Structure 1
Amino acid sequence: MRLEPLSGDDPHDVLQALRGALVGRGPALGLGMLAPAHGIVPDRTAVVVTTSGSTGIPKSVVLSRDALTASALATAARIGDGSWLLALPASYVAGLQVLVRALVAGREPAILEGAFSPASFTTAALSLARREGGPTYTSLVPAQLSRLLDAAATDAETARALRSFEAILVGGQALPPAVRDRAVDLGARIVRTYGSTETSGGCVYDGVPLRGVEARIVDAEVQLSGPTLATGYLGDDALADAVFPRDADGTRWYRTGDAGVIEDGVLRVRGRIDNVIVSGGINISLDRVERAVHTVTGLEHAVVVGVPDERWGEASVIVVAGWSDQDSALLAKARAVVAAEVGSPARPARLVRVDAIPELSSGKPDREQIRRGLA
């Protein structure tokens, strides 16, 4: 079938094209594609999402109508049915799925107009609650939730907006425990999601796979299977074969590249297998270091990256936005926490302040740009 790349990322344009693509009445929708050329995609394709992630290597993920619909139905089965507010870019899978869930439920999604801010989110959320009079839902990344919680501390309307949702899905990156605790204390109902574009978005909620989804650990790597898996990668069958292996019985799995464990049926993701530095001959997971750093008050939104080190080969650096005269104490506290939770060799070498953390358009930290800024 034909692929029609969409120029721009206006959510209204995405919604209009998605209406036809999701039911097979129109061409497949291309989002984030590097070239505007038309092409042919497998039958039943609804959307091709091209994303570079933090590595800068583009991948065009082919998502079928069946996979997107299965994801939407499984989400409704887990958290309930209702109306959705889009507060994320529609050209990324988390935002795209907000629109898909609304369309599958036969409802018109609310769309936050303009740039995200606590004021615009509050207006849109309370308007949706008044319009629908029933359960409402939205999806955010941790940085958005943190901004809203900061605003809610002094703005009762923002606090009311957060409490108005039956569930707020939060994914895209790890949710710092301190941010989750603040949300719970406020009365917001938070659901942590785990997944990727290759799984049609979040497919594990609060550590438990959605209906039809299975998780397993192979050589410490999280692998997922089920009806939400992508068809593959456009124009790269070799990569698809490597990332989506099949068992002898034909079951298809997605190799996430994440390390994790399953304890009492709950998946716990430990971080990226490849987000590792070798410091003094010891492998150190920067994701584990970052999670430990986030438990330190004042460093809840810090980013930890690896840099070359003359003595140890590589070392980790804490990068945090804003300015403070307490950096020596913060670094000492972070080093102590990391030593206790990860090990002494993993202690960060230094703490660097920046005006703002560079972000990808998805809202995730741009770790590559951060590393370049430290060079």
Structure 2
Amino acid sequence: MPMEDSPPRIEVQHGPEGRVLLQGAWTAANLTQKPLWDALAAQLKALRAQTASSASPAALRWSLSPLEKLDYLGAQVLWSAWNHHWPAGLQIEPEQRAMLETVEKFTVRPLPPPRPSWLEPVLMLGERLLSLLSHAKGMLRLLGQLLLDMGRLVRHPQQGPWRDLSGHLYNFGATALPITALVGFLIGVVLAYLISQQLRQFGADAFIVNILGISLIRELGPVLAAILIAGRSGSAITAQIGVMRVTEELDAMRVMGIARGFRLVMPRAMALALVMPLISVWTTIAALLGGMLAADISMGVTPSFFFNALPAAVKVSNLVLATAKSVVFGLLIALIGCHYGLRVKPNTESLGQGTTASVVTSITVVILVDALFAVLFKSVGI
């Protein structure tokens, strides 16, 4: 009967020059047994700290002569324990050396960690600026193409994508009414409760109509509607055009000579520019109803008083300003959604990244443009 291989062992001889004797069979069959490997790994970890290059006088002297067997897995374990360096005073058989030299030849040493450079922040800033300029250039090109397509539509209205426009009006507008009304109503309730707690301290209950009216009609209503539409319809625009990129429909349109701007960008931009003012007014009305209900419950301000005091508290110019802002919001959301959709690469990872970037950029641009309107038209309706 063939004799079984003895388990791999490590014997450390202490003295002026420490010696490490390797015994047993260092083969894959033995090293893959968990109890044996755990014991050897602990010993090798302790010895690895003491093992240095051959130039080190304090290096341990390893002896592989007592080994019964050594295969490539055992050689790889030893080479890793030696930190990819040959130890000093190594006693080894020619066959063992040849095997270890083969392992050394095909072992990839880990690259040293890159040294930090003061140029890295500058290069990163430059990359961000170039990316920003690329997006700005793409948006400007998209806006110019939209103006050209609108001119073509005026000259040849019979060629317009009216069916696409009507479908987008329904998808972007009618289907968004329930969620915008619900969110607007709840925002009005919360805002009225918070305002009532402060006004009650000064006995200025009647001024809740002024605060709710000017805040909801002029600012919160249009901005809230735009944020909801950016998260709902802006992401849908990017996903729709991005899927067309992934499925190569955009390439097919180019081959067939169909203008992408005229059939994809213009109908969506027109639809959102038309429905955003309506959704803004719808959201504002729902928020006012929620605020009126909360004011009646918390402060006793009756709905009849609310309706009578609202026209005197809020001028019509505030509603005109809010409607104008909503048109700009809708146009920007559509252009940003189309911009990121057209930049999607033909893979699903880029589609997800483009959709996320579209929503974040749309919401950020809406808030920035609202702040710009607030600064430029600060004297309107006051």
Please tell me the TM-score bracket, short chain as reference.
under 0.3
Q: Which has the higher contact order (CA 8 A, sep 6+)?
A: 2
Q: TM-score, normalised by structure 2?
A: 0.19
What TM-score, normalized to structure 1?
0.19
Rg comparison, structure with higher value: 2
Q: Counting helix residues as a fraction of each chain, which structure ranks higher?
A: 2
